[in-house]
Amino acid sequence: MLSGLRKRVPLVNLYLPFVVPKDASVIHRKHMALTREKMLKRLEMPKSEDRGDFFSHLLRKGGNKVPEPELCQQSNTLIVAGSETTATCLTGIVFCLLSNVSCLEALSNEVHSRFQSDTEITGDATADLKYLSAVIEEGLRIFPPAPFGLPRVSPGAIIDGHYIPPGVVVSVDHWTTKHDGRYWKDPHAFIPERWIDGGFGDTKQASQPFSLGPRACLGINLAYLEMRIIIAKMVYHFDWELVNNEVDLFRDSKLYLLWKKPRLLVRFHPHN
């Protein structure tokens, strides 16, 4: 997205050095080197050990014809989209639950009343836990992993009373719509109950963390599955304690396409 912006608006290149962290390029190179290393390791895996993962489909469709740079970029997308975004959402949820103890207690009660052992906590078993699902939806709303607007090309349409010619790139900013008081009661408050039954009459369609349409996030179901299991098991096994109480995730985070988050130190005590 950033490279596309630099091509469309060359003037941006003059300002990037002043707003992007100096070590960003170094970190990016390290990340791409690690990505290539993981890609090559996966390519060397014998077919007999094929795990039926995302790469299996790429290789099956393209055989040996897919160029290495393209495979590397696909690997980069899978690693970033499949890890950083989920980790960011989990960080936001943990912080919000620790900042709202009554919500954490309600979630703990729901999980412990349903499950008697760790092995019972599965994707299917957690799918109908209303409060857990509400916590995840509220986490995605209040601290969206991708708070920026994803670009879409206008086919020629009227948007909010204005005609947008064909070919114009438009987007809807996720952070803005998720914190707009016209759509949400107390938009800056973490209130999972808004997602249960009728809630507070909020316009829930204003929260689309995975976007919409044919270009929506492919990993939506996997992300929900991972978050349900991880949060449920964390609550089942541990009592949580925020160590660095001075941190404020919303105040101390910075956005560079994705979030640069402060250190969130949490002490986990075995649940009695």
The listed range with the strongest mean pLDDT (78-92, 123-137, 196-210, 251-265) is: 123-137
Backbone phi, psi, residue 97, to 5°: -65, -40
Instruction: Please state the three-class secondary structure of 201-245 as a single string.
Output: CCCHHHCCCCCCHHHCCCCHHHHHHHHHHHHHHHHHHEEEEECCC
pLDDT at 165: 96
Average pLDDT over residues 237-251: 96
Give 265: exposed, middle or buried? Use CB within 10 Å, 0-12, 13-18, 19+: exposed
- Average pLDDT of the chain to the nearest whole number: 89
**Amino acid letter for position 116:** Q
What is the fold, at CATH topology level, of the domain defined by 67-146+183-270?
Cytochrome p450 (1.10.630)
* Cα 102 to Cα 147: distance, rounded to the nearest angstrom: 27
pLDDT at 64: 63
User: Given CA atoms 84, 133, 268, 92 in this order, what sign does their dihedral have?
Assistant: positive
Q: Report whether 103 belongs to an annotated binding site.
A: no
Eight-class DSSP state of 130: H
Average pLDDT over residues 11-40: 79
pLDDT at 3: 60
Average pLDDT over residues 95-107: 98
Average pLDDT over residues 131-138: 98
Average pLDDT over residues 117-144: 98
Whether the CB-CB separation of 93 and 52 falls below 8 Å is answered with no
What pLDDT, in 10s, does the model give residues 177-187? 999 999 999 99
What pLDDT, in 10s, does the model give residues 31-40? 899 999 999 9
The more confidently predicted of residues 43 and 128 is: 128
Confidence class for position 8, pLDDT limits 50, 70, 90:
low
Backbone phi, psi, residue 194, to 5°: -65, -20
Angle at 23 between CA 19 and CA 68, to 5 degrees: 105
